[in-house]
Structure 1
Amino acid sequence: MDFRHGTPALSDFPVARWRQSLHEAYGRADAAALGYGAAEGAASLRGEIAALVRQSRALDASADRIVVTAGATQALDILVRTLVRPGDVVVIEDPSHTVLRQVFGCSGAVVVPVPVDGEGLRVADIDACVRAQGRDPGQVRLVYVTPSHQFPTGVIMSGGRRRSLLAWAFERGATVLEDDYHNEFTFTEERLPALAAERHRDTVVYVGSFSKTLFPALRIGYAVLPPHLVQPFLGIKWITDRLTPTVAQEALADFISAGAYARHISRMTRLYRQRRRQLLVSLYEHFGAGVRISGEAAGLHVLLALTGLRGVSEEAIVRLAAGRGVRVYPASGYFVQDPPAEPTFLMGYAALPVSRITEGVALLADAVRAAGAAGAVR
């Protein structure tokens, strides 16, 4: 029972319908389609992506501002190569994914973590955090945020923080990189639009992918760019990668235009809502007041903090849970400053059936009790 985050319900993907789209794409493929395609991606797919983000994220962007990439990570890498020079400053959320520190650090930039609270990135702290690293806030070239479902806390950035961040970025001449990695899955009636849908005066790059909504091996992502960044971004993509596989793009465009993508998202949203509900019910049933959960409003994971435990490490719980057939993942490594004082875990649920979630949480609770008893003895 693996509570790994970032893995969708791959066994529920409509393989037969996807095979049909692939068949259609190869059936229409001519010599041009089988050759080197445009660096910006297939026109058909960029048009479908423009329609998708307009409908689901209230982001009105023309297809000529969209570049197809080999997943979201490539979009991040190209943007760093486009904007950041050695000695520049990149601001990231704290906590955040460890891979980000590696991607941004490879550019020779100074990576500055800024704390996150219940409203998202603490914009008012950016200047002080940058100065604490011996840099001037005017050296910030990029601010990375996950406003729709902060990774890993799951916090949704408030409207006030969004406006403050856009004003700060415009004043400093910085670019905001919005990573909307769980863009389709929200479980509240009210849903804030993408940050890039705000009036941002060309300061926001929106990055998305189909890894969580469809399947990771597809390796198709995209960036929605301000007009002045399109050609510099394309120039680097041409040099480093040339193109994202063309026929797969045409198949995805067919999958979306035929309505199969919308049906899949609707079906997965119902499934994930059920699994999320069961995870929360099971956690509160077994841990009661001894658990604190954040991030349940959106995305495919929650952040679980076990309170009231003394002398118990995350590693001990991981080891004892593994002995019972349950895999859980410590969250403390995502924090640069002020790691959580209590054992904290990132709990993904998307790939687990309800029965396995129920069983897994019960076994995790047994492991926590055993860890607590061992800690009390010491």
Structure 2
Amino acid sequence: MERPAPIIQFEERPGILDLGWGHPLPSLLPVEQWSAASQAAARTFGWRALTYGYAAGPGPLIEWLAEHLSRTERVRVRTSQFFVTGGASHALALVSTILTDPGDVVLVDSPTYHFALRILRDRGVQLVPAPVDSAGIDPAALDDLMTSLRSQGRRIPLLYLVATYGNPTGRSLPDRRRHELVQLAQRSGLTIVEDDTYRELSYEPVAPQSLWSIADGRAVVRIGSFSKTVAPGLRLGWLNAAPEIVRTLTGLGYVDSGGGVNHHAALTMATFGASGAYHRHVAEVRGHYLRSRDVLVDTLRAALPDFDVPSPAGGWFVWLPLDQGVRASTLRPAAEQLGVSFVEGGRFYATGQQGDDHLRLAFSFLTPEQLVEAAGRLAHAVRTVLG
């Protein structure tokens, strides 16, 4: 008999506490609150919630987002600068489709979000790592690299990075470099694609200023998503871009044919946001993930006192450096034998030739009790590999 078709992306492996999944904790997904918002949206919008939507996204969501982001970032974000998407990955696919051609050079941070590398490769571009040091992308060295590449006749339309609470590192680009990077893009014709997915999962009082707000919308496209703050199953996000880019997106054939993306979920999100439920929910999950971060970091520091265990200021990930010659590729089989897993650092580099000296550990998907056990198993695996 044929097995039932799967329902969700997560694949459970019995006996394995998997620190590799950058997913929300299931018990934190706002099932009841979302159901209430959906019913309220149906009452408010009636048949308009179930027909073809406006190409750039429904006005109620865009207006709420513009007000919300303008308040949280203390800059004005205009409604003409929004396009509602099916999540951050969809936004990156759209932007790379309209701004790149096969054979172009696309610059990427190192390390960076591994699935973004796959999305960009689908365009047939050449991914070139941007020069980095311990603080992140070095704008002066990047300027030199771009000059060299363009002298060879190469076109460089895009730079992709997660500047705030990056995946996988959890680090943020320093403020001075943010300004220098924006200035470089504006004078060189480069478009920065800023993946800003983790901004609202900040464990600091105020998150760093976005590249988008520094640039006042010029030479930066900012990607946002509700996958981390509300639920990934919504398949709902947005991008901020100059009005001419938004007009190009709304003119795409599939948008002209089908209308706005995820129209019903977008109107429900507008209702969820306007009711205050979004603000309350984000405050709740931020507090939970802060506690989960502390549990994982504190347990690892106690169990591996010779290792430099970082404590990220936002997001979902600990980027763990491996000391004493331990390699991620060697450690993973030993770890899985002891019932714990992770993502090897090499997955986050465009060349695939770096990163075997790091692990990405997600603290979002496991309970605090599971995180304590997972950290203990990982430390045991490290000691096993060290002999």
Tell me whether the two structures share a fold, i.e. TM-score over 0.5. Answer: yes
SS of 1:143's equivalent in the other structure is strand
**Misfit runs of 4+, over 4 Å:** 130-138
Question: Post-superposition shift, 1:137?
Answer: 8.4
SS of 2:341's equivalent in the other structure is coil
Q: How many angstroms apart in 2 are the aligned matches of 1:315 and 1:341?
A: 6
Matches within 5 A, 1:1-378: 1-130=17-146, 136=152, 139-200=155-216, 202-236=218-252, 238=255, 242-289=259-306, 291-294=307-310, 296-309=312-325, 312-336=326-350, 339-340=354-355, 342=357, 344-373=358-387
Question: Post-superposition shift, 1:266?
Answer: 0.7
* 1:258-281 per-position Cα deviation (integer Å, ceiling 9, x unaligned): 111100111111111111111111
Question: Post-superposition shift, 1:239?
Answer: 5.2
SS of 2:49's equivalent in the other structure is coil
Summarize the Cα distance change of 1:32–1:353 in structure 2 as closer, same or farther, 3 Å threshold.
closer
Question: Post-superposition shift, 1:59?
Answer: 4.3
Q: How many angstroms apart in 2 are the aligned matches of 1:353 and 1:246?
A: 33
Structure 2: 5+ residue stretches without partners: 1-16
Summarize the Cα distance change of 1:333–1:241 in structure 2 as closer, same or farther, 3 Å threshold.
farther
CA contact (8 A) 2:301 2:309 kept: no
Summarize the Cα distance change of 1:212–1:233 in structure 2 as closer, same or farther, 3 Å threshold.
same
* 1:126-157 per-position Cα deviation (integer Å, ceiling 9, x unaligned): 24444666765882211112111222222211
CA contact (8 A) 1:5 1:346 kept: no
**Number of residue equivalences:** 369
Code of the residue aligned with 1:339 in structure 2: it is Q
Q: How many angstroms apart in 2 are the aligned matches of 1:200 and 1:49?
A: 17
* 1:36-68 per-position Cα deviation (integer Å, ceiling 9, x unaligned): 111211111111111222233334211221111
Q: How many angstroms apart in 1 are the aligned matches of 2:19 and 2:204?
A: 23
Summarize the Cα distance change of 1:23–1:200 in structure 2 as closer, same or farther, 3 Å threshold.
closer
SS of 2:239's equivalent in the other structure is strand
CA contact (8 A) 2:199 2:207 kept: no
Summarize the Cα distance change of 1:327–1:340 in structure 2 as closer, same or farther, 3 Å threshold.
closer
Question: Post-superposition shift, 1:172?
Answer: 1.0
CA contact (8 A) 1:4 1:328 kept: yes
Question: Post-superposition shift, 1:241?
Answer: 6.0
**Percent identical across equivalent pairs?**
26
CA contact (8 A) 2:55 2:256 kept: no
SS of 2:251's equivalent in the other structure is helix
Identify which range, 127-136 or 139-148, moves more after superposition.
Answer: 127-136
SS of 1:250's equivalent in the other structure is helix
Question: Post-superposition shift, 1:168?
Answer: 0.9
Question: Post-superposition shift, 1:341?
Answer: 5.9
Q: How many angstroms apart in 2 are the aligned matches of 1:14 and 1:189?
A: 24
Q: How many angstroms apart in 1 are the aligned matches of 2:214 and 2:384?
A: 49
Q: How many angstroms apart in 2 are the aligned matches of 1:286 and 1:242?
A: 54
CA contact (8 A) 1:180 1:207 kept: yes
SS of 2:107's equivalent in the other structure is strand
Code of the residue aligned with 1:330 in structure 2: it is E
Code of the residue aligned with 1:16 in structure 2: it is E
Q: How many angstroms apart in 1 are the aligned matches of 2:310 and 2:176?
A: 20
Question: Post-superposition shift, 1:361?
Answer: 0.7
Code of the residue aligned with 1:358 in structure 2: it is V
Q: How many angstroms apart in 2 are the aligned matches of 1:295 and 1:194?
A: 21
Summarize the Cα distance change of 1:10–1:56 in structure 2 as closer, same or farther, 3 Å threshold.
farther
Q: How many angstroms apart in 2 are the aligned matches of 1:131 and 1:355?
A: 51
Identify which range, 147-156 or 175-184, moves more after superposition.
Answer: 147-156
SS of 2:158's equivalent in the other structure is strand
Question: Post-superposition shift, 1:314?
Answer: 1.8
Structure 1: 5+ residue stretches without partners: 374-378
SS of 2:164's equivalent in the other structure is coil
Identify which range, 184-193 or 164-173, moves more after superposition.
Answer: 184-193
SS of 1:31's equivalent in the other structure is helix
* 1:40-99 per-position Cα deviation (integer Å, ceiling 9, x unaligned): 111111111112222333342112211110011111111112211233322111112332
Question: Post-superposition shift, 1:6?
Answer: 2.1
Q: How many angstroms apart in 2 are the aligned matches of 1:280 and 1:16?
A: 32
Q: How many angstroms apart in 2 are the aligned matches of 1:112 and 1:59?
A: 32
